[in-house]
A and B are shown apart, each in its own frame.
Chain A
């Protein structure tokens, strides 16, 4: 077990040391996977259906904000739709515009979820994502997950009917249009999946924020069970064609990944290290702020001394009051071996971060 902790510390150390390089490489890999999947599954527009174009687009995505992965994915899918049929491309463009105008503009930072979810659905492993999003992200990702599901089913309908659409004459444009609309409206599976994902994300998010012991474990379990129930009941009642085996396996995988996330969560602040610079009358400051990665103790969480970090008085107190108080009581004599457990009430990095001061302060 000690070895596992040591490996964890090593991974975290490498992550913080090289995060400037790691994140662009990650974005490059994700963008390449998404674009390559789009090309391999659609491939109706041959000019962009080659690895060189995918690599160039992925390289661009690695330097640009992560939302650009969605933009490129949308562009690629629209071009493939255009290669198949103009009316399908028009319908696709309208769908993307409506999804953006009505939903996605409320959570633009979750754009990556919209790009990644269809790929996961294609690989039959989307059911882990809502649990992970509920743990690691905000409820705003419900919108992104819903948009991702709708986009997947739209592209799936295009692929299913591509042979029929390709053989239709230009005069049968309205028939193509009706085929697409009828397929979308008849797709009850899409609605059930959207509802299941939305409920899962919200329930997991709400439970993990509760000030109770084992809140993460309860959230993960509740999310997985709820997701399986909604999808299976929806499949029985509406005959959606969702595979129960995939649902259960996907949820189990989601639970496993969620526990790995939990293993790292209290050691890694997902805001990563930050570099800031500022000046005052006397100095220029070039500061690298690295969130602390362990308790300064052994694997039991038992600490030898109470550091500044342990006294979890919020850095910023509530409105109008004394705003800087590190919370250390100079008169208190901390005993040898005094400790707190991760997940205990004294240590709630997320609640502190979100409710008190969003400065990247995880303490």
Chain B
């Protein structure tokens, strides 16, 4: 005999698993610190790669000036300026990525907790049968 309520619960769970549950369950398979740490590392890598591109484009744009003045140029101050911009952009972007990862983890954990409560309900309904 079909237990209608159990079917509804299990249908909702299956629907969740095939939809947003995939992402949420993946996120919750990590500890929060690991998930956020990984997000920060990816953010740092993204900023670094972008900055390398930016410096390359900047140098290529001013290539003639660089070649003409390379011996008169204050390289240290240029490197310090690049370093300053890199640090500022790194800190800002990593902070934003941290907040996004934190919020994503909270939402995932909230939904997975409800999903696990659903599992308990299914077991309860199964026992009542």
Question: Given that A98-B53, A102-B46, A276-B14 are known contacts, is A357 also in contact with B114, CB under 8 Å in the complex?
Answer: yes
A176-192 residues at the B interface, CB under 8 angstroms: 177-178, 181
Q: Is the CB of A101 within 8 A of B50?
A: yes
- Summarize A's interface: helix, strand, loop or mixed: mixed
**In the assembled complex, which residues on chain B have CB atoms less than 8 Å from the CB atom of A278?**
10-11, 13-14
Report the minimal beta-carbon distance from B16 to chain A, rounded to whole angstroms. 4
Q: Is the CB of A319 within 8 A of B15?
A: no
Asked if B84 is at the interface of the complex by the 8 Å CB criterion, the answer is no
When the two chains form the complex, which single residue of B60, B121, B122 contacts A177, counting CB atoms closer than 8 Å?
A: B60
B102-129 residues at the A interface, CB under 8 angstroms: 110-111, 113-114, 117-118, 120-122, 126
Q: Is the CB of B100 within 8 A of A106?
A: yes
Report the minimal beta-carbon distance from B54 to chain A, rounded to whole angstroms. 8
User: Range of interface residues on chain B?
Assistant: 35 or more
Q: Is the CB of B57 within 8 A of A181?
A: yes
Interface centre among A177, A277, A357 (most CB of B within 10 A): A357
Asked if B61 is at the interface of the complex by the 8 Å CB criterion, the answer is yes
Chain A window 265-293, contacts with chain B (Cβ cutoff 8 Å), 1 for yes, 0 for no: 00000010010111011010101010000
**In the assembled complex, which residues on chain B have CB atoms less than 8 Å from the CB atom of A280?**
6, 10, 122, 126
**In the assembled complex, which residues on chain A have CB atoms less than 8 Å from the CB atom of B12?**
315, 357, 359-361
**In the assembled complex, which residues on chain A have CB atoms less than 8 Å from the CB atom of B114?**
316, 319, 323, 356-357
**In the assembled complex, which residues on chain B have CB atoms less than 8 Å from the CB atom of A289?**
11, 15
Question: Given that A324-B9, A360-B19 are known contacts, is A94 also in contact with B113, CB under 8 Å in the complex?
Answer: no
Asked if B2 is at the interface of the complex by the 8 Å CB criterion, the answer is yes
Q: Is the CB of A102 within 8 A of B11?
A: no
Report the minimal beta-carbon distance from B21 to chain A, rounded to whole angstroms. 8
Asked if B98 is at the interface of the complex by the 8 Å CB criterion, the answer is no
Q: Is the CB of B61 within 8 A of A178?
A: yes
Asked if A97 is at the interface of the complex by the 8 Å CB criterion, the answer is yes
Asked if B86 is at the interface of the complex by the 8 Å CB criterion, the answer is no
Question: For residue A271, which residue of chain B has the nearest CB?
Answer: B19
Question: For residue B48, which residue of chain A has the nearest CB?
Answer: A101
Q: How far is the CA of A99 from the CA of B120 in the complex (A)?
A: 43
Chain A window 18-34, contacts with chain B (Cβ cutoff 8 Å), 1 for yes, 0 for no: 00000000000000000
Q: Is the CB of B117 within 8 A of A316?
A: yes
Tell me how many residue pairs across A and B have CB atoms closer than 8 Å: 91
Interface centre among B12, B42, B113 (most CB of A within 10 A): B12
Asked if A174 is at the interface of the complex by the 8 Å CB criterion, the answer is yes
Q: Is the CB of B10 within 8 A of A359?
A: no
Q: Is the CB of B7 within 8 A of A324?
A: no
Q: Is the CB of B63 within 8 A of A174?
A: yes
Q: Is the CB of A98 within 8 A of B50?
A: yes
**In the assembled complex, which residues on chain A have CB atoms less than 8 Å from the CB atom of B19?**
271, 274, 358-360
Q: How far is the CA of A6 from the CA of B89 in the complex (A)?
A: 56
Report the minimal beta-carbon distance from A118 to chain B, rounded to whole angstroms. 22
**In the assembled complex, which residues on chain B have CB atoms less than 8 Å from the CB atom of A276?**
11, 14-15, 18
Chain A window 335-355, contacts with chain B (Cβ cutoff 8 Å), 1 for yes, 0 for no: 000000000000000000000
Question: For residue A323, which residue of chain B has the nearest CB?
Answer: B117
Question: Given that A278-B14, A358-B19, A360-B19 are known contacts, is A316 also in contact with B46, CB under 8 Å in the complex?
Answer: no
Q: How far is the CA of A105 from the CA of B24 in the complex (A)?
A: 17
Asked if B93 is at the interface of the complex by the 8 Å CB criterion, the answer is yes
Q: Is the CB of A102 within 8 A of B18?
A: no
Question: For residue A278, which residue of chain B has the nearest CB?
Answer: B14
Q: Is the CB of B121 within 8 A of A94?
A: no
Beyond the given pairs A277-B14, A280-B122, A285-B7, 8 more chain A to chain B contacts, judged by CB atoms under 8 angstroms and listed by A's residue number, are A101-B49, A102-B93, A181-B57, A278-B11, A280-B6, A323-B117, A357-B111, A360-B19
- 8 smallest CB-CB distances across A and B, nearest first, come from A276-B14, A359-B16, A101-B46, A323-B117, A360-B15, A358-B20, A359-B12, A316-B114
Question: Can you give 21 A-B contacts (C-beta < 8 A)?
Answer: A101-B49, A102-B46, A102-B50, A102-B93, A106-B100, A274-B19, A277-B14, A278-B10, A280-B122, A283-B2, A287-B11, A289-B11, A319-B110, A324-B9, A357-B12, A357-B114, A358-B19, A358-B21, A358-B24, A359-B13, A360-B16
B interface residues (Cβ-Cβ under 8 A, vs A): 2, 5-7, 9-16, 18-21, 24, 42, 46-47, 49-50, 53, 57, 60-61, 63-64, 93, 100, 110-111, 113-114, 117-118, 120-122, 126
